[in-house]
Amino acid sequence: MHLPDAVDTLISLAREGDMRALARLISVVENDGTQARQVVERLFPHTGRAHIVGITGAPGTGKSTLVNAMARVYRQRGHRVGIIAIDPTSPFSGGALLGDRVRMRDLVGDPGVFIRSMATRGSLGGLAHATDDVVLILDAMGYERILIETVGVGQAEVDIAASAHTVIVVEAPGLGDDVQAIKAGVLEIADIFVVNKADREGADRTFLALQTMLGLGPRRVQHHGRTMTVHEEAPAPDRAWTPPILKTVATRGEGVDAVVDAVEQHREHLRTTHEGQRREEIRIRRELYRILQDALLSRLMERLPPSSLDEVIQQVTSRSVDPYTAAQQLIARAETQPVTR
Amino acid sequence: MHLPDAVDTLISLAREGDMRALARLISVVENDGTQARQVVERLFPHTGRAHIVGITGAPGTGKSTLVNAMARVYRQRGHRVGIIAIDPTSPFSGGALLGDRVRMRDLVGDPGVFIRSMATRGSLGGLAHATDDVVLILDAMGYERILIETVGVGQAEVDIAASAHTVIVVEAPGLGDDVQAIKAGVLEIADIFVVNKADREGADRTFLALQTMLGLGPRRVQHHGRTMTVHEEAPAPDRAWTPPILKTVATRGEGVDAVVDAVEQHREHLRTTHEGQRREEIRIRRELYRILQDALLSRLMERLPPSSLDEVIQQVTSRSVDPYTAAQQLIARAETQPVTR
């Protein structure tokens, strides 16, 4: 039995619904100090229950408004919702116009909703790391649905959305091209397509363009790297998932219930097939590699005199040694040297 | 003395201007096999001469057209130019309309121009790694100016542009907001601002918004994390750089000469101050960390039985161990075990 310490106290308070304690826990993990590992170790056994939804799309598709409206529907259905915004133009990140902020005002006062925005640049250890940590804490704290909003451009951002349990790709008419997803290469990661701003001119064209790309009748689609045959008839028990195309007018909440229904159906699909287990393993593998790389680099640095790295960087900068040879030399030196600090 | 091998042959051919050999060299490095290190080792001593220019901005600002026009100006001035496009909507990446492709047709046939587009997703070891490698090869092959076009949204993409010698942030009027850079947080990385589509309505407003943000008269600006005082008077010998704001209509080539002039002035500024050396060290440090992390993870994997990682991932997925403890266990196991393969 261990005595309650600062971390335990924060965890208890956060469990009781203290939002400031929850925000503090997230800061502890983000600052990556000695207490960060304590938090992860104690909370990790309580994770794995949340359903994580990635919402991605080009700027101007109305992702934030959709996320907002989805959170409201989930609240009506009695779920606690976490929102993580990784989009510099999101109102959750503070980058939006006044109108957007007014629209989300009802969510801000609700204790069943926790909103966190992430800086898209300069986060310690990268965006994926920081997002994993916030997801872990919200999951352990009983947030049952976690909505991650990322801008659908950018490698890190799209990868974060793609590693969610359910991926929603949002399109909108009038952005200069029929379907933005084709250009950004995010088409193949979608579990659900949403054509938002469906009351605008061109919405039907966007809808048809998506439908054409997905084919008609029995068809083969590329889905998460696998080609699968999709039938229109009675589904097999372990059937493939056909990404639905849904229309919404998120500003008025129209069609948002159907989007939430589709997420829940996809969640059920993941639970009844091997796909859910497979995605969770990919998530875990990515996180483990990242932790291993950080730990190994830290151990190497501890074994080298602090000046030696600077010397090597000077040598590489002056082109007297190439970076691969320099890396091998540093590793060899660390292995023959005792721990210096 | 070593006998000429496949890598030497490719290098010689590429040096003689064989574009297919050059493309093949890049593929060798991208595939990251045993020959990749050979290529880097042999070419690295010949690098460090190219001036690397990052061009970033929101979708719709006309970055690609500007890059295209800048390449043409550089060709007129007798420089060889490499173009690396990391933007899913760039015509160089194949994501553009026919009009854009026609505009760049004159560059495609020119042996003094090499164009490479990079996938923004799924590149082995990440986008920054892949870009570093292509820059290295083009630099060694005598391309004197390397223009890297990235979309100004997304952590990896903005970081790549930010690590160039000269960073151009492109704005355009009529994108829904006065200045996109403020929202995307890329303002502080700019060495040169370009207001493209300057013939359109709202261009003056965009120009003034940028000017206001940069202040007037003697002022303090945040520049690459440092606050510096900028004077309008006679510059000190080791003076700070004041990011100019330039107007262009890239489709007609208007103002593009001035942009190239500004890049050359900034290049001269870097050479005559410590700033150039400082940026190069940051580039090298980032690359060395990345190589060290990859090498250390590979060494760990070699020392572990192939099944042990899968077992650990199962344990973490079932929440019987947390990922940090799992990582420590894997590292401890590897250190007590002989090399197995």
- Three-class DSSP labels, B116-157: EECCCCCCCCCHHHHHHHHHHHHHHCCCCEEEEEEECCCHHH
Helix, strand or coil, per DSSP, at residue B338: coil
Prediction ipTM score: 0.78
Q: Distance between CA atoms of B201 and A217, rounded to whole angstroms?
A: 47
pLDDT of residue B116: 86
Contact A179, A210 (CB under 8 A): yes
Q: Determine the pLDDT at residue B213.
A: 78
- Assess whether A278 and A339 both reside in one domain: no
DSSP-derived pairing of the beta strands B245-247 and B226-230: unpaired
Q: Which of A45, A60, A288 sits opposite B327 (nearest CB)?
A: A288
Question: What is the mean pLDDT of the segment spanning B309-327?
Answer: 92
Cα-Cα end-to-end distance for chain B: 31
Question: In chain A, whose CA is at the least distance from the CA of B36?
Answer: A324
Partners of residue A44 in chain B, C-beta under 8 Å? 319, 322-323
Q: What is the DSSP letter of A252?
A: G
Is residue A120 one of the residues assigned to a domain?
A: yes
One domain for residues B271 and B326 = no
> Do residue A295 and residue B47 have CB atoms under 8 angstroms apart?
no
Pair A28, A125 in one domain: no
In a domain, A294, yes or no: no
Do B248 and B106 belong together in one domain? yes
For the cut 50, the answer to whether the pLDDT of residue B221 exceeds it is no
Model pLDDT, residue B179: 57
The reported pLDDT for the residue numbered A135 is 92
Give the pLDDT score at A96.
46
Give the Cα separation of B1 and B6 in Å (integer).
16
Residues in contact with A327: Cβ distance below 8 Å, sequence separation at least 6, in sequence order = B288, B291, B292, B295
Q: What CATH code is carried by the domain that includes residue B275? A: 3.40.50.300
Do residue A31 and residue A53 come from a single domain? no
Residues of chain B with pLDDT > 90, as a percent, come to: 39
A320 with A249, same domain: the answer is no
Q: What's the total number of domains in chain B?
A: 2
A54 and A162, same domain (yes or no):
yes
Contacting residues of B for A331, CB less than 8 Å apart: 292, 295-296, 299
Longest Cα separation, chain B = 69
pLDDT for the residue numbered B244: 95
Confidence of residue B265 (pLDDT cuts 50, 70, 90): very high
Strand partners, A169: A56, A193
Q: Spell out the alpha helix ranges (H) of chain A.
A: 6-15, 19-31, 34-43, 63-76, 98-103, 105-108, 127-140, 155-162, 180-184, 203-214, 256-272, 275-303, 306-317, 323-336
Distance in angstroms between the alpha carbons of the first and the last residue of chain A: 31
In a domain, B72, yes or no: yes
- Owning domain of residue A264: 47-289
**Residue among B45, B297, B326 whose CB faces A296 most closely:** B297
At B107 the pLDDT is: 73
Asked if residue B218 has pLDDT above 90, the reply is no
A42 neighbors A8 (Cβ within 8 angstroms): yes
φ/ψ (deg, to 5) at A280: -65, -40
Q: Is A298 inside any structural domain?
A: no
Confirm whether B53 is domain-assigned. Answer: yes
Residues of A numbered 28-47 whose beta carbons fall under 8 angstroms of chain B's beta carbons: which are they? 37, 40-41, 44-45, 47
Instruction: Based on the fold, state whether residues B142 and B188 are members of the same structural domain.
Output: yes
The H or E element spanning position B64 is helix B63-76
Compute the average pLDDT of residues B324-332: 93
**Interfacial B residues in 90-109 facing A (CB < 8 Å):** 95
Give me the residue from A120, A292, A300 closest to B327, CB to CB.
Answer: A292
Q: Are residues B213 and B148 in the same domain?
A: yes
Contact A41 B324 (CB under 8 A): yes
Q: Do B155 and A159 touch (CB under 8 A)?
A: no
> Is the same domain home to B254 and B319?
no
Q: Is A322 on the interface with B (CB under 8 A)?
A: yes
Whether residue B211 lies inside any domain: the answer is yes
Q: Which two tokens stand for residue A84?
A: 């993580």
pLDDT of residue B124: 44
Q: What is the mean pLDDT of residues B196-208?
A: 92
Chain B contact present for A89, CB below 8 A: yes
Residue closest to B164 by CA, chosen among B290, B52, B285: B52
The residue with greater pLDDT, B26 or A2, is B26
Q: Is residue A210 within 8 Å of residue A193, measured between CB atoms?
A: yes
Of B156, B293, B322, the CB nearest to A41: B322
pLDDT band at B335 (very low <50, low <70, confident <90, very high): confident
pLDDT tens track, chain A, 341 positions: 455 688 899 999 998 888 889 989 988 887 777 788 889 889 999 999 999 999 988 777 888 899 999 999 999 999 999 999 886 555 565 544 444 555 566 677 788 899 888 765 544 456 777 788 899 999 999 999 999 998 776 777 777 877 899 999 999 887 655 555 555 567 778 899 999 999 999 899 889 888 887 764 334 444 444 444 444 444 444 468 989 999 999 999 999 999 999 999 999 999 999 888 888 888 888 889 888 998 999 999 999 988 888 999 999 999 999 998 999 999 999 888 655 44
Is residue B219 domain-shared with residue B140, that is, in the same domain? Answer: yes
Question: Does B97 fall in a domain?
Answer: yes
pLDDT reported for residue A117: 81
State how far the Cα of B92 lies from the Cα of B83, in Å rounded to an integer. 9
The answer to whether the CB of A287 falls within 8 A of the CB of A325 is no
Do the beta carbons of residue B77 and residue B261 sit within 8 Å?
no
pLDDT, tens digit, 9 for 90 and up, residues B100-158: 555 566 677 788 899 888 765 544 456 777 888 899 999 999 999 999 998 776 777 77
CA distance A251 to A215: 30
Q: Say if residue B270 is in the same domain as residue B327.
A: no
Task: From A265, A289, A313, give the residue that closes a domain.
Answer: A289
- Of B44, B319, B324, Cβ closest to residue A322: B44
In a domain, A72, yes or no: yes
Q: What is the pLDDT of residue A177?
A: 53
Nearest chain B residue to A276, by CA? B317
Task: Tell me if A16 sits within 8 A of A8, measured CB to CB.
Answer: no
Contacts of A150 (CB under 8 A, 6+ apart): A54, A55, A56, A86, A87, A157, A158, A160, A161
